[in-house]
Structure 1
């Protein structure tokens, strides 16, 4: 029964991640309340999975990964290369996806981040329209909304983990 609740918490995080990605795209800001809610959903899901399995390895690995990401990205925030919301979101995502999903998340994040940077830096590749104009605006400001690829990678990884758990245990 704990697995069902843990999967439900992960599934509830998907619309929140979509909201975070959308708001970062439109306003270039990630709200602290959204990151805190994501932290609660992720930590709650990890706690339930740890109680079910009797092993705290995944929880410890996730907490360590979140701490390392925060420490590694903090200097980039101090140099104004990334936003504080991006740093906080990256530190919380490992708690949401768990240690077993870190590899999948890393690969997806690399792909989505490269695609986002490519689109923002080369908006002429997009068809005419409002999205192209907005991408040009982001390029002129020198802003890349990295909350979008982080959210997309976390959504895809979470969906993969939920589906994988349902098919393996179902």
Structure 2
């Protein structure tokens, strides 16, 4: 039973991971797929270990075949190619996000709405504490929420 369950979970997790990966690549339904892909990806690792554990006898035979080593070589070469060609230097996305989340909301609110006053009104209407000299990170801590929840609140019509 465990062998069948591990194989079934591996199959369906692979289908979801593959589908969400393709959707993310083409930026289709990004708001829905990213978190599912990341969390299920972590679960997928555990599921794969269970699959290997419960199918170890058959897997050992497979590991002795030439095609296993050819496959390992191809995947390793492709992975190494991506690693060696990865951009170097600062992570621009991280710098941008840290800048937006780390500077006072009075300055960064205009990235989301026309003025700080509009952002403040929306946040206060949602029951959040707002202080002009506090960053989104600080406001998130004060309000015991995520900075992204605060941004989402500002963006709501």
Common fold: TM-score over 0.5: no
Q: In terms of Rg, which structure is larger?
A: 2
More helix by share: 1
TM-score of the aligned structures, taking structure 1 as reference length: 0.32
Identify the structure with bigger relative contact order (alpha carbons < 8 Å, sequence gap 6+): 1
TM-score of the aligned structures, taking structure 2 as reference length: 0.34
